[in-house]
Structure formats: structure tokens, C-alpha cells
Structure 1
Amino acid sequence: MVILPWTSGTNHLLATWEKWQSFNAGMIGLFAASIAVYAAYYQYRNRLEREFNANIALLPSGLSVLLNRLQRKADYCVHCYETKRDSQEHVISIEQAGEIELTDLQQGIIKNCIANANDELSEQLIRLLHELQVLNSRLSVIAPDTPARTSIPDLLFQLATTYALAAHILLKIRKTDEKLDEITEDDIPNALANLGAAVESVVRQSSKYTKFEVE
């Protein structure tokens, strides 16, 4: 389009350009459109990255709130376990049993992190949500006078496992230079220690706890 016509003189070059001006205009338009698409995609990727950075920065706060709620649920379950049936000591000041609800903001933060984080963090956040769903279904039937009182040690063990997973994720994302490994058996006793001696005392009666006992 340029080199060969130019070797035949300026007039031939101009005549060639005039003959192919529609094609030239189309190619220029295509080139300009490609630049526009790339610029839009670059801005889109930048926006997604900024949103992810904002959500990953807020995730520790959301996990801390979740840990606090798990602690209150554990305290309530201990109260239910220690309260005798037909007792009048049913009025307590701590939060009643029920679902451990995540706010819309917390759900949005976790959803964004699952969608954009690395595979390890995404998988563990998905597992955390699954554990919460299972835990909530079991918490809904717990009350001081419930016949399900005998299931509370196993329930508290499951709650401690969920607590350990949330605490493990919280610790690792604060240390961004470390890989997010799987939780280990040591995380469960640590979670029970954080939940308190009363919770651990009840969990010791669960058959699931035996492998964590010190021989």
C-alpha cells in the first residue's frame, strides 16, 4: 500500500491511496475501535481489581464479627446444656439460639472474594459458608428445654470447627506473604481455647473430640 506504489512515484502512490481510500478508512476505524476496546477492558479490569482489594481489606472485619457471633452462640449452647429441663432459669441475657446471619455487606464481601481470590482462599470461603449453613440448621432446634440437649456436645464441636476455619482464614489473610494452607488438627483445640473453658468442657463429652485428647 505504501512501499511498492512509492517506488513508482508520488502520483502513483496518491492514485493508489485514492483507489483504496474506503479500505484505508475501514482499517483506521478498526484500529481505533481496537484501541477503544482495549482501553475499556483495561479500565474494567482495574475496577475489578480495586473492588477486590477493597473487599479483601474488609474481609478481616467481617470474619471478626462472625467469630464474635459464634462465641455468643457457643455460650448460649452451654447455657442450654447446663440448664435442667423444666427449670425456671430460661431467661438469659446472651443472644438466643437461631441462625448466624450475615449482613448483605458481609455476603457481598465474601462473594466478591470467592469470585476473584486465588483458589485456596475461594475454596475455604466456600467451605466456611457451607459449614455455616449446616450449623444454622442444627442451631435452630436448640433451646434450654429442648429434647435435643444431648446433641449439644457434638453441635459445639461442629461450631468449634467452623470457628477454627474462620479464625484460620482471618490469620492467613492478614499475613499476605503466606500461602493459605488447609486447617490442621491443632486449629480445633486452639478454637476451643478461644471459645472458653465452659465450651471446651461440654465439647469433651462429644465422641468427635476423643482424637484431640492428650494421651
Structure 2
Amino acid sequence: MKNKKILSYSLVLVLLFVYFICMFFIPFYEGGVHLLRATLLQWQTFNAGMVALIAAVITAAVAIKSDKAAWERHYDAIERELKATRLLLNLPLRSIIEYINYCIDEILNYYVVIDKFDKEKKEKSKEIMIRNIEQMEKPKDHEKIFTDFIKLSSGREEKVESILTGILYEINIFMSHLHLMKRIEENRFIREKTRLKHTIAMGLIVKQMASDLLPYANTYVNNSRSVRETFTDKKIYKTLISTHIENKNINIDEDFPSDIETMAEGLFRDLHRG
């Protein structure tokens, strides 16, 4: 682009140089002032056009330079706002991770008792889980901050935009699943266990997406290439749920971590398909 600009300027200067040589220098050199005046009179229409052309070129050059300066100021303003918004990602990401961890722990507390207690105790455990989750402060302001970042970025940070879009999509579905838990029929035991595992898998995907973005949100430097998309590795979800189980020191099905891994793989595939 820079080379094309230099070539254009050089071509204009050469044409102007040739014009002044032919129109002024040669007539004056060969015949003095009389020949110069006669040449100018003979070519006055052409000269008038050249003056208009030169004026138009100068006007266009000034306008282009002015527009470029205005665009650079606009671009710099967007970059500064984008960096500021990037720093605002930190708090909602941490809030989402904390909320997901809490919800998963509450779901696990309920999951381990649903096949051990009678209907009354099971219902009581379910009410405790739902009440505790509802009392937990939900992530707030994340939708506006994430949306503002995506709008400001406009393709500059495609990887980050993609992850934020995925978080917005999945966390809304995750919260919908939490809301629907109270409606699961008691006689649909297998369906209930599957729904709980599916909700946990979805929560882990959201949690890992947010975790991948935290280092990026903690720096003022534009370094989106350093974002590690570890949430794309389905094996990580088996490790994550195993860690939750170990931290709570609970006994659970041996196949439970593998089930979460398989469900997470399906959810991740659906996310990219959507």
C-alpha cells in the first residue's frame, strides 16, 4: 500500500514537471517572453484545465490526509476502549466460575443421595439443593460487558469473541437447566440422573471457557494469541469432575467422570455446530 502511494505521488510529480517544462521553460528559452506569452494564449483553455486539475489533486490529498487522521483517532479511541473493556472481563469471568463451582457442588450433594433415600428424604434434599442454588448470587452485568467487548472488537479478537459468545450461549442454557430441575418428575429416576449429569457437563464447559480467558482479561496488553482454548479438550472435563468429587470426598459411580466427559464432548460439538 505504501509503495503504491509513493508510485502515485511520483507519477503526479513527473507529469507536473513535464507540463511546466513544455509550457513555460521551453517557450521562454527558445523565444523569450513573447513566445511564452503566445504559447500561454494559444493553450489557455488547456492551462485553465490544468490549474483546475492541480487544485482538485491538492484538495483530494488534503481531504484524504484529514480523513486518515480522523480514522486513526477513531481507531485509537476504539483500541483504548477495547483495552478498558478487556480489563472489565475479569470480574464477571471470576463470578461465573465461582457460581458454576457452587452449583456443581450442590448438584453433586443431591446426586449422591437420590438413589439412597426414600421419596420424602429425597424430596427434602432436592428442596435444599434448589434453595441453596437460588440463594447463590447469580453472575450479573456479564452480558453487557461481553456484548460490548464483542461489538468493539469487530473481528480484531476473533478467538476471544468466539469464547465469549460460547459462554453467553451456554450459561443461559445452564441456568435454564437449573430452573427446570424442580420440575423433574420423581418417577423418572433415570431421566433425573441424566439431566443432573448433563447440567454438570454444561457447567464445566462454561467454567473452563471462563478460565481460559482469565489470563487475557488480567493484562492490558493485546495478547489474544496467548489464549489457550483448553475447553476444546474433552478429556479435561473428566479431570475437572474428578477433582470436584475428590474435594467433596463423596462416593459416586465409577463411570460418572467418563459420562461427564462424553456429555461434554456432545455439548461442545453442538456449540460449534450452532
**Structure-2 change in CA distance of 1:75 and 1:210 (3 Å):** closer
What does 1:108-127 align with in structure 2 at a 5 Å threshold? 108-112=147-151, 115-127=154-166
**Structure-2 change in CA distance of 1:18 and 1:136 (3 Å):** same
* Matching residue of 1:153: 197
1:142 is displaced (CA, Å) by 1.6
SS in 1 for 2:180: coil
1:35 is displaced (CA, Å) by 1.2
Are the counterparts in 2 of residues 161 and 191 from structure 1 also a CA contact under 8 Å?
no
1:117 is displaced (CA, Å) by 3.9
**Structure-2 change in CA distance of 1:88 and 1:153 (3 Å):** closer
The one-letter code sitting in structure 1 at the alignment partner of 2:20 is: V
1:207 is displaced (CA, Å) by 5.9
Equivalent-residue separation in structure 2 for 1:195 and 1:116 (angstroms): 39
TM-score normalized with structure 2 length: 0.58
Equivalent-residue separation in structure 1 for 2:171 and 2:68 (angstroms): 41
* Unmatched tracts of structure 1, length 5 or more: none
Which residue of 106, 126, 131 corresponds with 2:145? 106
* Matching residue of 1:165: 209
* Matching residue of 2:89: 59
Are the counterparts in 1 of residues 234 and 261 from structure 2 also a CA contact under 8 Å?
no
SS in 2 for 1:90: helix
**Structure-2 change in CA distance of 1:80 and 1:97 (3 Å):** farther
Which residue of 163, 169, 178 corresponds with 2:226? 178
1:141 is displaced (CA, Å) by 0.5
Are the counterparts in 2 of residues 128 and 166 from structure 1 also a CA contact under 8 Å?
yes
1:209 is displaced (CA, Å) by 3.3
Which residue of 248, 260, 263 corresponds with 1:209? 260
TM-score normalized with structure 1 length: 0.71
Residues 146-194 of structure 1: CA deviation (Å, up to 9, x unaligned): 4364221332122122212221232466584735344324532554336
1:67 is displaced (CA, Å) by 0.9
The one-letter code sitting in structure 2 at the alignment partner of 1:4 is: C
Are the counterparts in 1 of residues 153 and 161 from structure 2 also a CA contact under 8 Å?
yes
Equivalent-residue separation in structure 1 for 2:91 and 2:169 (angstroms): 20
The one-letter code sitting in structure 1 at the alignment partner of 2:71 is: Y
Equivalent-residue separation in structure 1 for 2:170 and 2:71 (angstroms): 37
* Unmatched tracts of structure 2, length 5 or more: 1-18, 115-120, 186-190, 263-274
Are the counterparts in 1 of residues 103 and 133 from structure 2 also a CA contact under 8 Å?
yes
SS in 1 for 2:127: coil
Cα RMSD, aligned residues only: 4.0
SS in 2 for 1:46: helix
The one-letter code sitting in structure 2 at the alignment partner of 1:119 is: E
Q: Which has more helix, going by share of residues?
A: 2
Are the counterparts in 2 of residues 74 and 159 from structure 1 also a CA contact under 8 Å?
yes
Of stretches 121-130 and 175-184 in structure 1, the one that deviates more from structure 2 is: 175-184
Are the counterparts in 2 of residues 77 and 152 from structure 1 also a CA contact under 8 Å?
yes
Which residue of 166, 173, 182 corresponds with 1:134? 173
The one-letter code sitting in structure 2 at the alignment partner of 1:52 is: L
- Give aligned pairs, total: 210
Equivalent-residue separation in structure 2 for 1:185 and 1:200 (angstroms): 23
Q: Structure 1 residue 72 and structure 2 residue 111: aligned?
A: no
Are the counterparts in 1 of residues 97 and 207 from structure 2 also a CA contact under 8 Å?
yes
Equivalent-residue separation in structure 2 for 1:78 and 1:111 (angstroms): 34
* Matching residue of 2:127: 90
Residues 48-103 of structure 1: CA deviation (Å, up to 9, x unaligned): 22122222222223211211221232244345544734438835773418996542
* Matching residue of 2:60: 30
Q: Structure 1 residue 19 and structure 2 residue 48: aligned?
A: yes
The one-letter code sitting in structure 2 at the alignment partner of 1:197 is: N
